[in-house]
Amino acid sequence: MPDTQLECCDCKKQFTWTERDQAFYTQQGFDKPKRCKDCRAKRKEDSLVKIAIRAVEAWEGWDGKPETKDAVGTAIERLKDAAHRVRK
Ligand SMILES: [Zn+2]
């Protein structure tokens, strides 16, 4: 399929779904994108904030149990990973 114009469900702006992206989405079995690149980046940041809050809450509520510490460690790892992806 050639490049297609889609409407972002958040900001209602038109954005281009390129032929290359379409191939990638099809290959991954994803539905067509609902949001433009900017809104997707914004949502990624929002989810980063949520993970960060969870990590802080787990840390503050640390009851001295090793599994709580593990949960915090996992949250921090996810955060690092997500931060890396956002920066790209
Ligand atoms: Zn948008």
DSSP 22-88: HHHHHHHTPPPPSS-HHHHHHHHHHHHHHHHHHHHHHHHT--S-HHHHHHHHHHHHHHHHHHHHHH-
Is the pLDDT at 88 greater than 70? The verdict is no
Separation of CA 18 and ligand 1 centre (Å): 16
Give per-residue pLDDT as tens, 26-64: 999 999 999 999 999 999 888 888 888 888 887 787 777
Is the pLDDT at 22 greater than 80? The verdict is yes
Considering all CA atoms of the chain, what is the largest pairwise distance in Å, rounded to the nearest integer?
57
Query: Higher-confidence residue: 71 or 6?
Result: 6
Separation of CA 7 and ligand 1 centre (Å): 8
Token reading at 48: 């980063």
